[in-house]
């Protein structure tokens, strides 16, 4: 299942249409630069920072799936990204 999921990500986002979609997602998520939003008083808006990081983390996940070799991956993709080993 995990091997097929990696292949699915790669087929989706390596296609020309997938590349365009991923590029648009990166723009929407401010992937290539950090944004520190301020509230009305000029203080860092921590809730907006967390929201932005949540959007960015989706792109990080997609990028990591595109770098994987489906023939060498074992175990759960989620566990691998979190650094959890299968004992």
Q: Choose among 35, 31, 73: nearest CA to 56.
A: 31
The model's pLDDT over 47-85, given as tens digits with 9 standing for 90+, comes to: 988 988 999 999 999 999 999 999 987 655 555 555 544
Q: Average pLDDT in the 25-34 region?
A: 88
Q: Average pLDDT in the 15-27 region?
A: 97
Is the pTM value of this prediction over 0.85? no
Instruction: Report whether 58 contacts 25 (CB < 8 A).
Output: yes
Q: Look at residue 83 and tell me if it is in a domain.
A: no
Q: pLDDT at residue 1 above 50?
A: no
Token pair listed for 87? 């004992």
Using pLDDT thresholds of 50, 70 and 90, give the confidence band for residue 32: confident
Q: Which domain holds residue 40?
A: 2-75
* Ramachandran angles phi, psi of 40, nearest 5°: -60, -25
Counting the structural domains of the chain, the total is: 1
Q: Look at residue 67 and tell me if it is in a domain.
A: yes
Q: Look at residue 58 and tell me if it is in a domain.
A: yes
């Amino acid at each position: 299942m995990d091997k097929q999921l990696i292949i699915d990500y790669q087929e989706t986002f390596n296609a020309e249409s997938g590349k365009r979609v991923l590029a648009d997602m990166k723009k929407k998520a401010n992937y290539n630069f950090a944004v520190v939003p301020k509230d009305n008083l000029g203080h860092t808006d921590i809730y907006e920072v967390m929201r932005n990081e949540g959007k960015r983390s989706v792109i990080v996940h997609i990028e990591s799936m595109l770098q994987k070799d489906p023939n060498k991956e074992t175990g759960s993709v989620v566990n691998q990204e979190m650094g959890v080993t299968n004992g």
